[in-house]
Amino acid sequence: MPAVAQIQMDSQPTMSQLIELDRARRNAQQAASALRETARWSELVREIDEVLEAKDLSQLCATIEGMESCLTALTHLPDYNERLALVGTHKNSLESLLAPQLMQAFIESQADPVDSAQSAEELRHLIDLFYRIGRPEAARNYFTSCLKVSFKTHIFLFSSLI
């Protein structure tokens, strides 16, 4: 038994060094990951203005999603809240581009039952973009507004016939 105790005492400094080396390795990996995400964030920020200008809604959504995924690794940065606000601003920009198209797609799907398959596909795509940026409630609100307008129009037309 004393031999086992001696081995444990002799190996204790080695085990402590291994534990410290493992901790240093994990810290280095986390730092490398944070650096990669910071570089990726910078690239996405440069890219988003071009995508906004091109009004490529799917690409804009993908860029915003990329920015959000970068944020999960950048929570420790002092400007995290500013980055979070920037993502929110870009989501607002995307929503302002999506809203008129969504309303138009709703109107077209109601007006032309023959072409409703294409309209339905466009609606699904636009609603999916709202979901991807975490704004499904906004899509529902636009749909509700469109239904209200349509209902009021039908009531007005019906009442004018009477």
CATH of the domain at 35: 1.20.58.1210
Q: Which domain holds residue 19?
A: 2-160
Looking at residue 112, the DSSP 8-state letter turns out to be: -
Reported confidence tier of residue 115, pLDDT bands at 50, 70, 90: low
pLDDT at residue 13 tops 80: yes
pLDDT band at 8 (very low <50, low <70, confident <90, very high): confident
What 3-state class would DSSP assign to 1? Answer: coil
CA–CA gap between residue 5 and residue 37 (Å, rounded): 47
CA distance 78 to 158: 60
DSSP string, 12-67: HHHHHHHHHHHHHHHHHHHHHHHHHHHHHHHHHHHHHHHHHHHT-HHHHHHHHHHH
Q: Which of 94-108, 117-131, 141-155 has the lowest mean pLDDT?
A: 141-155
Q: Kindly report, residue by residue over 118-138, the tens digit of the pLDDT.
A: 778 889 999 999 999 999 999
Averaged pLDDT, 94-105: 93
Q: How many domains does the chain have?
A: 1
Position 108 scores a pLDDT of 82
Q: For residue 84, what are the CA distances in angstroms to 41, 53, 138? A: 12, 21, 19
Interior/surface letters 29-48, b for 16+ CB within 10 angstroms, e for the rest: eeeeebeebeebbeebeebb
Nearest to 83 by CA among 94, 93, 68: 68
What is the predicted pLDDT for the residue at 157?
62
pLDDT reading at 67 higher than 90: yes
Give the per-residue pLDDT at 43. 96
Cα–Cα distance between 121 and 128 in angstroms, integer?
10
pLDDT band at 56 (very low <50, low <70, confident <90, very high): very high
Across residues 143-162, what is the average pLDDT?
74
pTM attached to this predicted model = 0.77
